[in-house]
Structures are given as C-alpha cells and as structure tokens.
Amino acid sequence: MLQATLLTKSAEDKLQLPQPFKKGEFSLEEVLAKRRSIRSFSPRPLSLKQLSQILWAAQGVTGEGDFGRTSPSAGALYPLEIFVVVKRVEGIEAGVYQYDPFRHTLELVTKGDYIQDLAEACLSQFFISQAPVVFVIAADYDRVTWKYGERGVRYVYIEAGHCAQNLCLQAVALNLASVPVGAFWDRQVKEVIFLPDDLDPIYVIPVGYPGKGG
C-alpha cells in the first residue's frame, strides 16, 4: 500500500495524542440536527483531548492492522492525509502538524502561527484566522488512480466528503463550531502549510468555540 512519508525527522517532533473516547454526550441524531456552518470563532483555545478526538473522527484507525478507518475508502487505499494548523491548543505549540492515524500522533512540520497566511490563501476569508485550529484535508491521487484510473479521482473526492462530515459532526458533539471551506488557491495553501509535492489540498476546515454573530 502506498503511504505518505511523514515530514518530521526526530522523535522529539512526535506528539502522542490522548486516546479517543467511543461514546459521547449526544446521540447521532442530536448531532445531525445541531450541525451548522459557523463563520465566527471565539478566541478560547481547544484542549489537546478535543483535538485528538476530532482527528480520530476524521481518519482514525478502527480495524486490525492498517485497515478500517472512521470513514470509508475505495479499495481501502486511503489517499487522504490530515494536516493541522494550530494557533491556540492547550499543551501544544503553534505550528503545522501532520496526523499519523496508525500511531495516533501528531508529527511536527514547522513551528509558528500560519493561520493568518492560510486565511489569505483561502481568498482572504479572514474568519478562518479567528479559529484556534484549522484542519486541511489533502490527498495523494496516485494512491487510488493506479488501480481505478481517472475514476479514482472521483473516489478521492467522495472520501474527502466522508472525512469532512465526520470531522464536522465530531466538532458539534464537542460543542464546537466548524465550517468546510473549498474556496482557496491550491498552490498558496500548499506553500503555507509546506505540503509535499505528492499531496494536494481538498478541504480547509476551521474549528473552534462559536463566536458572536456566527
């Protein structure tokens, strides 16, 4: 199976995330009814436990070995990679991180606050810069097209939709706000968060506590 090479080089750049819980406060029906796209965020930081839970919901491993994820994947080829742009999360420095679903860890890409730059790359949608954390769903199309040809591109987009919905519903279950953003300059997003050449951004999703007028 083709897998992306994580961008970090030392054990010091790996952060073990808290174990996710499998039973929440709200039912699925309640979460579905409450989900809305919110474009205003409070400055309140997220906890590392909340970040961990959202990442697991998006791409967490639920089966034996490398197979079984929280969202379905055509041919179990798993073309998606989740990057996290952190501004305010308790217990973690501001920076860009890549999620490793197999170890449930974050791998440091680079330190620093890049959320303002990311908002500019998203056609200057500056509500993004209010969020304490922004998730970027990226994909390696070759992991799917080698088997399914051009139809594999469609499968990647379908999978990204599954992943994004999981992420947004988990945010609601944690009393958080989110909004999926598809309007951005692809090359600029790649440059801001240091995506490798084999990955392309598909979704940008800011998450945080809802602000006023959201």
Residues 197, 179: Cα–Cα separation, whole Å: 26
> Where does the pLDDT of residue 63 fall: very low under 50, low under 70, confident under 90, or very high at 90 and above?
confident
**Per-residue pLDDT averaged across 59-83, rounded?**
90
Average pLDDT along the chain: 92
For domain 13-208, give the CATH number.
3.40.109.10
> Where does the pLDDT of residue 28 fall: very low under 50, low under 70, confident under 90, or very high at 90 and above?
very high
pLDDT digits (tens, 9 = 90+) for 144-163: 999 999 999 999 999 999 99
pLDDT at 118: 98
pLDDT at 67: 73
pLDDT at 213: 66
> Where does the pLDDT of residue 11 fall: very low under 50, low under 70, confident under 90, or very high at 90 and above?
low
Q: Where are the domains of the chain?
A: 13-208
Residues 94, 115: Cα–Cα separation, whole Å: 9
